[in-house]
Structure 1
Amino acid sequence: MKKTPTYFLLEIKHKTAYITVNRPDKLNALNTSVLKELTEILAGLKTNDDVRGIILTGAGDKAFVAGADIKEFQELSPDEAWQLSKSGQEEVMDELYTFPKPVIAAINGFALGGGLELAMACHIRVASELAKMGLPEVSLGIIPGYGGTQRLPQLVGRGKALEMIMTGEMIDAADAWQWGLVNYVVPSAELIPACEKLLEKMYQRSQTAIAAAIRTVNIGLMEPEKGYEEEMDAFADAFDTPDFKEGVAAFLEKRKPNF
């Protein structure tokens, strides 16, 4: 019997898994139990052939995820804090970052601290006009611990990333778009439909090619010296896939491919 999620709403329809962090009374804050459950959900979706993409959002109209549960931090030793950072990065953030199916963060409100790190781990970010984003950890005497210091500079550049991290201040959706932190900004009512529209375009393309593209882009960012070699290998491997044969046949026959 499948376990019912405690902290999430999970719905699968039309090839898309909708994951909603469902703690609106806590502004959808992350804690170890929430992260553990998300790990389990992602593991199930990775092997689910009925799912080709994911939309991740927060319950309510105030927050995507407004950070971590600070109460959990109070009694942590440095060793425990290191383990918390390690498990959060490896089991959730890195899992999202390397997920072989497209993952879109639908940022419906505050995305702060661990919440922004969660959004940055997704492949694409679409924000509501009312969304606000930031990494306020320095206000607590700490720094981001779920990959924020690494992923934010990749998206907005070193200068803007250091400004956001060192001031701890929030930016609005318009600034986030200007700096490349989000791909699109839309009215609140159009947030999920905009994400669905993006995924529908991807569902018309090769699933195996998309997975290979995610992998090669990530390797190029994390290990630049290996990026070109990985691309050449993935390009060559694609020639031996059913999707390649179908894609070329469809092109030559002037029809849409059946991926």
Structure 2
Amino acid sequence: MSEAYVKHDIKDQIATIEFFHPAHNSLPSNILAKLAETITQMGKDKDVLVIVIKSGGDRTFCAGASFKELIAIEDEQTGEKFFSGFANVINAMRKCPKFIIGQVQGKTVGGGVGLASAMDYCMATKYASIKLSELNIGIGPFVVGPAVQRKLGVSGMSQIAIDANSFYSPEWAMQKGLFTKVFETTEELDEAVTEMAKNLCQYNPEAVQHMKQMFWRGTEDWDDLLAERAKISGKLVLSTFTKEKLKRFK
């Protein structure tokens, strides 16, 4: 079985960050921490003008929270700490002074939708359906909610958060503004992302930094907001309802 990883490489001023986990690219704490750290690091690197975030494998971009880790949570502090991992990644993306392009090759669930929503520009394939499944296990998309709502609006976000059993098509996600383009194949997606990243390298980094601040205006309280949300999720994951639901995944 392949090992989980977060790796990056820099080529022609483009930093490509790739994460992988054998359980459908789910996100345990160590991967979340490494992801947040790498995004922050690439944001500060003078040799990097644009960041691309992608995941390994073919058909799943990200399955969201690691069920193995969710099942193991026994107290509120551990729960809060786990969900703070998602908050840290979203905040790292929000504060990064460079544009982040998302390359979503397949299905995306829960925290993965939050990740895609925090990209500055996100492209996908026709396999990239999205689902906010948190309500299914008795929690809600609290930590990723602000990022998803910022992209889909309250209406789109509440639609997928309430209808927690359904996958929504990449076309739906594109209409709502999460994806900018949807491609037939991963090869076409690869090419489009590379071309876009190269184009962005031609722009004035100072202008990009100011634009990034402009796009994220109104999110200055997210350090506190997402920390509060992580507390809510940390409590709910210990509820009898959620514990019963999670037993099925053991």
* Counterpart AA for 1:9: K
Which whole-Å CA distance do the structure 2 matches of 1:199 and 1:57 have between them?
13
Which whole-Å CA distance do the structure 1 matches of 2:60 and 2:4 have between them?
18
Q: Once structures 1 and 2 are overlaid, which stretch shifts more, 109-118 or 34-43? A: 34-43
Q: What is the count of residue pairs matched by the alignment?
A: 216
Structure 2 residue 137 is the aligned partner of structure 1 residue 140: yes
- TM-superposed deviation, 1:143: 0.7
In the other structure, the counterpart of 2:161 is 165
Which whole-Å CA distance do the structure 1 matches of 2:137 and 2:108 have between them?
17
Matched position secondary structure for 1:155: helix
Which whole-Å CA distance do the structure 2 matches of 1:18 and 1:198 have between them?
13
Q: Which has the larger radius of gyration?
A: 1
| Aligned partners of 2:104 and 2:124 also within 8 Å | yes
Structure 2 residue 68 is the aligned partner of structure 1 residue 62: no
Q: Which runs of 4+ in 1 moved over 6 A?
A: none
| Aligned partners of 1:21 and 1:65 also within 8 Å | no
In the other structure, the counterpart of 2:229 is none
| Aligned partners of 1:102 and 1:199 also within 8 Å | no
Which whole-Å CA distance do the structure 2 matches of 1:146 and 1:170 have between them?
20
* Counterpart AA for 1:133: I
* Counterpart AA for 1:65: C
Which whole-Å CA distance do the structure 1 matches of 2:86 and 2:110 have between them?
13
Structure 2 residue 143 is the aligned partner of structure 1 residue 151: no
Matched position secondary structure for 1:93: helix
The 5 A counterparts of 1:193-212 are 193-212=191-210
- How high is the TM-score relative to the length of structure 1? 0.78
Matched position secondary structure for 2:207: helix
| Aligned partners of 1:64 and 1:115 also within 8 Å | yes
| Aligned partners of 2:110 and 2:141 also within 8 Å | yes
Matched position secondary structure for 1:171: coil
Which whole-Å CA distance do the structure 2 matches of 1:63 and 1:85 have between them?
21
Structure 2 residue 174 is the aligned partner of structure 1 residue 177: yes
Q: Which has the higher contact order (CA 8 A, sep 6+)?
A: 2
In the other structure, the counterpart of 2:224 is none
Structure 1 alignment gaps of length 5 or more: 224-259
In the other structure, the counterpart of 2:233 is none
Which whole-Å CA distance do the structure 2 matches of 1:56 and 1:49 have between them?
18
Deviation per CA, 1:73-109: give whole Å up to 9, x if none. Answer: 12322333223223430x2111112211111110000
| Aligned partners of 1:137 and 1:143 also within 8 Å | yes
The 5 A counterparts of 1:1-259 are 7-23=5-21, 25-76=22-73, 77-89=75-87, 91-147=88-144, 149-168=145-164, 169-187=166-184, 188-220=186-218
| Aligned partners of 2:19 and 2:25 also within 8 Å | yes
Which whole-Å CA distance do the structure 2 matches of 1:45 and 1:155 have between them?
24
- How high is the TM-score relative to the length of structure 2? 0.80
Structure 2 alignment gaps of length 5 or more: 222-250
Deviation per CA, 1:102-123: give whole Å up to 9, x if none. Answer: 1111000011111111111111
Which whole-Å CA distance do the structure 2 matches of 1:67 and 1:195 have between them?
23
- TM-superposed deviation, 1:60: 1.1
| Aligned partners of 1:106 and 1:126 also within 8 Å | yes
Which whole-Å CA distance do the structure 2 matches of 1:18 and 1:87 have between them?
21
- TM-superposed deviation, 1:220: 3.9
Which whole-Å CA distance do the structure 1 matches of 2:219 and 2:27 have between them?
27
Matched position secondary structure for 1:175: helix
Deviation per CA, 1:161-190: give whole Å up to 9, x if none. Answer: 111001112111111111212111112211
Which whole-Å CA distance do the structure 2 matches of 1:73 and 1:51 have between them?
35
Q: What is the alpha-carbon root mean square deviation over aligned residues? A: 1.9
* Counterpart AA for 1:98: K
